[in-house]
Amino acid sequence: MALSNKEVIDPQHTIIGSENAPVIIKFYVDYESLACLQANEVVKQVFELNGDLVSLNIRHFPLTNKHQKAMKAAEAAVAAAQEDKLWQMHNLLFENRKQLGLISLKNYAKAAGLTNKKFFDELVNGKYAWAVRGDLMDAVEKGIRNVPAILVNDNLFEEEITVEKLQRFINDVLQTQE
């Protein structure tokens, strides 16, 4: 399956879960960030609790001034999304957030089930870098300056990230839609 001649599917068009869900959680992450790892555990629980009511849109905000490997990790996640393996890769990247070198990313791609034989070359050559930069610019336009950042139907969640508080926020958003 040669992907190099195809257009890259941008993260904004990658949905995990039901595309018809009334709630979309946009989750901006940096894969080296401990705070993002902790927020990911909350988002995973809320996603699982809500079934078809909630879908996820994973977005990338690598803090390259602090985390040298976050950019390539985000690019690897975008590459995984090309084969509908973003959720698997996303969680592998967080599970291994302290080991995000290029060789490790190649191994995670295999573990996530990617079949693109050009994955490593595309990663090294920055094929997915523009998609990650697009996420960064989108986040900055929305006023996001740090991660983790969560938007629920484009409403910024500004409380402490806990299952209870995020669930309450989702319920409030759902009630305003009725």
HEC secondary structure over 126-146:
CCCHHHHHHHHHHHHHCCCCC
The pTM of the full predicted model, rounded to 2 decimals, is 0.92
What residue ranges do the domains of the chain occupy?
17-177
Does residue 81 come out as left (phi exceeding 0), alpha (psi in the -120 to 50 range) or beta?
A: alpha
**Under a CB-based contact definition with an 8 Å cutoff, are residues 169 and 152 in contact?**
yes
Residue 10: predicted pLDDT: 79
d(CA 50, CA 33): 26
Confidence bin at 3 (pLDDT 50/70/90): very low
What percent of the chain is predicted at pLDDT more than 90? 85
**CATH code given to domain 17-177:** 3.40.30.10
d(CA 62, CA 36): 11
pLDDT tens sequence across 108-123: 999 999 999 999 999 9
